Structure 1
Amino acid sequence: MAMNIDIPVWKDPQGGIVACVEKIKVMNENLEELQQMAQDALEDAILMGCDEQQVKDFLVRLMQSLHNPYQP
């Protein structure tokens, strides 16, 4: 499934553009996989009778709860 949102130009923490083709490829593939997993979870939830908006709100909170394990 192609992503239905525009993929941004990836930047480093200083605002510079990430130019490595391989890094960009991995990043985009990871996000496409994540989108497909989230779509599958949403569809399953709807088929099981869950409220669509509640599931979407939870997925947003889930993403917001992620933390950077590399920060000092």
Structure 2
Amino acid sequence: MTTPLDPPAAWPGADGAPLSCREKLKVLAENHREAAQVLRDAFEDAVLMGVDEAAMRRILAEMVAALPSPKRAA
């Protein structure tokens, strides 16, 4: 059984087809593991320090939603 903290079974490309380059898949899996660990740590720290769980989930989701696209011109 997979969870959202597990990397996706396939990484969709811009054209909708899954990426197949082994090196790209390796980097994406590593980035996913690192991001999942940082999010887990930040979430746990916040909740243990008294932040409301639902509020922290919302704060983390808003951070992700606000990430600028690297494709947009600065």
Bucket of the pairwise TM-score, normalised by the shorter protein: 0.7 to 0.9
Unaligned segments of structure 1, at least 5 residues: none
**Does residue 39 of structure 1 match 2:40?**
yes
Q: CA deviation at 1:58?
A: 0.6
2:60 corresponding residue in structure 1: 59
Q: Root-mean-square deviation (CA), in Å?
A: 1.7
Q: d(CA) in 1 for partners of 2:32 and 2:18?
A: 18
**TM-score in terms of structure 1 length:** 0.83
Q: CA deviation at 1:52?
A: 0.8
**Does residue 69 of structure 1 match 2:70?**
yes
Q: CA deviation at 1:4?
A: 3.4
Q: Which amino acid in structure 1 is aligned with residue 47 of structure 2?
A: I
1:4 corresponding residue in structure 2: 3
**TM-score in terms of structure 2 length:** 0.81
Q: 1:28-72 CA distances to partner (integer Å, 9 max, x unpaired)?
A: 110111111011011111111111110001101111111112235
Point out the more displaced range, 51-60 or 62-71.
62-71
Unaligned segments of structure 2, at least 5 residues: none
Q: Percent identity?
A: 36
Q: Which runs of 4+ in 1 moved over 6 A?
A: none
Q: d(CA) in 2 for partners of 1:31 and 1:57?
A: 20
Aligned pairs, number: 70
